[in-house]
Amino acid sequence: MKDQINKGLVCYDISKTFTNHKALIDVDLSVEEGDILTILGPSGCGKTTLLRIIAGLELPDKGRIFLDSTEITRLPASKREINTVFQSYALFPHLDVYSNVSFGLQARKTPKDKIEKKVKDILSLIQMEGLEKRFPNQLSGGQKQRVALARALVNEPRLLLLDEPLSALDAHLRSQVQQELRALQQKLGTTFVLVTHDHNETKRLSNRLVVMNEGEIIQSGPTADVFARPANKFVAEFLGATNFMDASKMSDTVFDTPYGPMDVKNKPKWDKGKMFVWPEKIEIHNDSAPAGNNWFVGFVKDQVFNGEGLDLMLVKDRENDLPIEPLLVRVNTRLDVQSGQRLAVYIPPEHLVPLENPIIH
Amino acid sequence: MGQEHIPEKPLDTTKYVIWQGELTSYWRIRLKSMILAVPSLLWLTLLLALPCLLLVGMAFLSRGQYGEIVFDPTWANIKRLGGYTTFGWSPAILYIIGRSLWMAFVTTFLCVLLAYPLTFHIATRPRKRKVYWLILLVIPFWTNVVVRAYAWLLILGPNLPPAKILAAIGLLNEGTPLYPGSLAVYLGMVSTFLPFMALPLYSSVDRFNWEILEAAKDLYGSPWLIFTQAVLPQTKPGLSVGIIVTFVPAMSMFVVTDILGGAKTMLIGNVIQQQFTQARDWPFGAALAGALMILTLVAMTIFRRRSGFDNQSNDVYVTKFN
């Protein structure tokens, strides 16, 4: 494998221990050129440490790192063709936007006219022309974020690392910057490695996904695959899933659940395990439920307005004496329901997702 | 008692304000702060401004035959500062002033050089260790400068390792102490002034934002670029204060240089001391002291202008909104 020219980043067997705390345990990671990979995980799972090791800001205890098939494990950060967008942006407070963006080019002794052209180009790309003379404390959060991005991208790195780059932005700005980031990446073709704990960011930005917990990679693969087949309950929950239910095999495509027998499109490998359904994929109807698989009758226990539509908590029994959690249903249409109202609930077979790992987490 | 009358007229907000949770007028606040400032103003006027005026005034008087001050206005002392004595022109005083400036400059520079690694070492220790280091840094303040200078005499004596090792290598004659000389003087000066430099610098270093340094590294910064663009801007407030509180007293230091320099390296501090004691020429001593004061003020003003010390707040984020 090492003899073959691999474009992109490969990490073999990376381990890192801080005093008494194992931050990373035997982590393998590979990113192909042009990919956007997100590393998703709760805080303290080691994702930032992994990013810092790739950047060269931390030395791994064990393992090797290759960039385009060249080993860079011991190369200092200042010699790696990798740039980082820091979580707090880390703009130089005493330098204006122009000097911040041109820092890397000046450090590498690029000719002055070339610097001017490159900075001008990147500033127009991020729509920051005319703000060259501003200082970081005169910029809004979104502008700082863009300057930090420009400061890294102007060096044309082979790999761009982003440490929770959108966490300091408000919700509205975040979705806007997500789109810009995606468009920018497609335009430049730079490989992005992004660390986040937000599954929405993952879904919108990346085409490869790595889920980490307690220093280990739990699951990795194309983003759509991971969302379609989460390995276990931890991954599924971290991707925003709720509505887990025990399921046991009745026939090849029918599984028994606490909500009655269900037809399943995504056939699991096990006979007994867990399935879940995304809250926005459940259908509800006002009329009575037809007899048949995937249909059941539920009662509204609680409802919360979520900004766009309603989050309904449904129970199968009015008394809710079943040992299962209420079902969360997200409806985006305007709906007038009362507590205790009776509804017909339909779970489409294609949206019933089995967990890969049958071990109850 | 009944209910209090609520005034119908709205409060004049150009005169009244809620300050520290109390409704009061600007006039009252100003009066309060003036009253509170009186003791310190009085102290400064009586014990600083007045003596300084007396000193400057004395510089224009003459010395009597027995060393008394004679009220006989003259420019002679000022001329002597420029080197013009009754016996013709001599550069001695100018030379001494120049040497004092140089010595203060070198001492400050050496202190900066030592304080940076020292403060970064302390700031990166665990919280408990930091306290030990800071105490170690402050302990020298508990002993008098003279005592510390004599301690150096003992350390640099002919029978102790520093002198013995140098003698063994052949850099020094057997049985010779390492004093008097510039090595001993600079050792004494730097050890005296290092805490003055390190403590203010530490206050800046302790709040160091390492991510800025990492950004400089990530952006291909050379060690020099990392220092000037990531370290210096963040530590400038502490460094500026450190330079001022080191340079000013180093300029007028005479005890350390006297003891460790063997009264050979004459500095302006020594000359002033001599004028007031052995020479009993108070007017000329006053002229020298006044000149030193003005020289120091000028040097500090230039430094403050050049370093932007005036227009920076404690955090580095300088507002330059136009």
For residue B287, the domain's CATH number is 1.10.3720.10
pLDDT at B321: 34
3-state secondary structure of B131: helix
% of chain B with per-residue pLDDT over 90: 35
Q: Do domains A8-237 and A242-354 have the same CATH topology?
A: no
Question: How buried is residue A160: exposed, middle or buried, by Cβ count under 10 Å (0-12/13-18/19+)?
Answer: buried
Q: Identify from B125, B207, B214, B220 which residue to disrupt to test chain A contact, counting A C-beta atoms within 10 A and taking the largest count.
A: B220
pLDDT at A195: 93
Radius of gyration of chain B from its Cα atoms, rounded to whole angstroms: 27
CATH topology of domain A8-237: Rossmann fold (3.40.50)
- Distance between CA B88 and CA A47 in Å, rounded? 79
Whether residue B43 lies inside any domain: the answer is: no
Closest approach of chain B CAs to the CA of A28, in angstroms?
A: 23
Task: Give A242-354's CATH code, choosing from 3.40.50.300, 1.20.58.740, 1.10.8.60, 2.40.50.140.
Answer: 2.40.50.140
Question: How buried is residue A49: exposed, middle or buried, by Cβ count under 10 Å (0-12/13-18/19+)?
Answer: buried
> Tens of pLDDT along B169-191?
877 777 777 777 788 889 999 99
A:64-93 residues touching chain B, CB 8 A cutoff: 76-79, 82-84, 86-88, 90-93
Total Cβ atoms within 10 A of residue B166: 15
Confidence of residue B61 (pLDDT cuts 50, 70, 90): confident
User: Which tokens sit at B46?
Assistant: 């009586």
Confidence of residue B201 (pLDDT cuts 50, 70, 90): very high
CB contact under 8 A, B233 and A92: yes
Confidence of residue B318 (pLDDT cuts 50, 70, 90): very low
pLDDT digits (tens), chain A, 361 positions: 444 566 889 999 999 999 888 899 999 999 998 899 999 999 888 999 999 999 999 999 999 999 988 899 999 998 999 999 998 999 999 999 999 999 999 999 999 999 999 999 999 888 888 899 999 999 988 899 989 999 999 999 999 999 988 887 787 878 888 888 888 888 888 999 999 888 888 888 899 999 999 999 999 999 999 988 888 888 998 898 888 888 888 888 899 888 888 998 888 888 888 899 988 888 888 777 777 888 888 888 888 887 777 888 888 776 655 556 788 888 877 777 888 888 888 999 988 888 887 665 4
B217 touching A (Cβ < 8 Å)? yes
Question: Bridge partners of A66?
Answer: A10, A71
User: Which tokens sit at B316?
Assistant: 């580095």
CB contact under 8 A, B217 and A88: no
State which residue of chain A sits closest to B211, comparing Cα positions.
A90
Domain count, chain B: 1
For tokens 């109202």, the residue is: A341
The parent domain of residue B165 ranges over 76-307
pLDDT at A54: 94
Query: DSSP letters along B150-164, please?
Result: HHHHHHTSTTSHHHH
pLDDT at B87: 72
Evaluate whether A87 touches B214 at the Cβ level (below 8 Å): no
Confidence of residue B309 (pLDDT cuts 50, 70, 90): low
Pairing of strands A21-32, A36-40: unpaired
Can you say whether the dihedral through the CA atoms of A182, A186, A189, A191 is positive or negative?
positive
> Tens of pLDDT along B4-54?
676 677 778 888 888 888 888 889 889 988 999 999 999 999 999 999 999
CB contact under 8 A, B317 and A137: yes
B219 touching A (Cβ < 8 Å)? yes
Q: What are the counts of helices (DSSP H) followed by strands (DSSP E) for chain B?
A: 14, 6
A95 touching B (Cβ < 8 Å)? yes
Better-predicted residue by pLDDT, B284 or A286: B284
**In chain A, domain spans:** 8-237, 242-354
B262 has pLDDT over 90? no
CB contact under 8 A, A107 and B211: no
CB contact under 8 A, B218 and A88: no
- Distance between CA A328 and CA A309 in Å, rounded? 13
Whether residue B246 lies inside any domain: the answer is: yes
| A64 contacts: CB under 8 Å, gap ≥ 6 | A11, A12, A13, A71, A73
- By Cβ distance, the residue of A83, A92, A135 closest to B212 is A92
3-state secondary structure of A181: helix
For tokens 């450090």, the residue is: A107
pLDDT at B308: 62
User: Which tokens sit at A188?
Assistant: 């430049």
pLDDT at A19: 86
